[in-house]
Amino acid sequence: MYSSIVIAAALFNEGATTRAALQKAKSLLDKGGKITLVHVIDEVPGYVAASIPKEHMTARRREVEEQLEAIAAEASGLNVQSVIREGQPSASILGAAKEADADLIMIASHKPGLSDYFIGSTAARIVRHAPVSVLVTR
């Protein structure tokens, strides 16, 4: 069905959401297709970043890399790569999807709260702006 799938990788729940999306992606992926796991590290405002030791930020990025690699390794027989971005989540995910020439973006969503109606969740922004199909899971 799809030759290139991008999965927005959430690692806050020990990767359970990402693992579930990866299992679903397996059934949607064409033979020989590729899956790209994208995790976005939110930008830290400059005034906060100045007080965080650089070693802490480097260690956090290394931790994310290890988690993504472990999840990718569980998908034996599939072409899975991981990408870590920094910045605004929806723009970063859409940018990674464009670079991967994705024909499907998969993202998990939560039950919207009041602030989501005024600001918009990451999933909602991706649905509104993606040039390809988007599969939103809960």
Kindly list the domain boundaries of the chain, sorted by start residue. Answer: 2-137
Whether the full predicted model's pTM is greater than 0.75, yes or no, is yes
pLDDT at 22: 94
Residue 8: Cβ within 10 Å count = 27
Any idea which fold 2-137 has? Rossmann fold (3.40.50)
- Which among 7-21, 55-69, 88-102 has the top mean pLDDT? 88-102
CA proximity to 49, closest of 102, 86, 100, 84? 86
Q: Mean pLDDT across the chain, nearest whole number?
A: 89
Give the pair of three-digit tokens for residue 80.
């899975």
**116 burial via Cβ count (<10 Å: 0-12, 13-18, 19+):** middle
Distance from C-alpha of 137 to C-alpha of 104, rounded to nearest angstrom: 13
107, 97 contact by CB (below 8 A): no
**Mean pLDDT lowest for which of 1-10, 12-21, 78-87?**
12-21
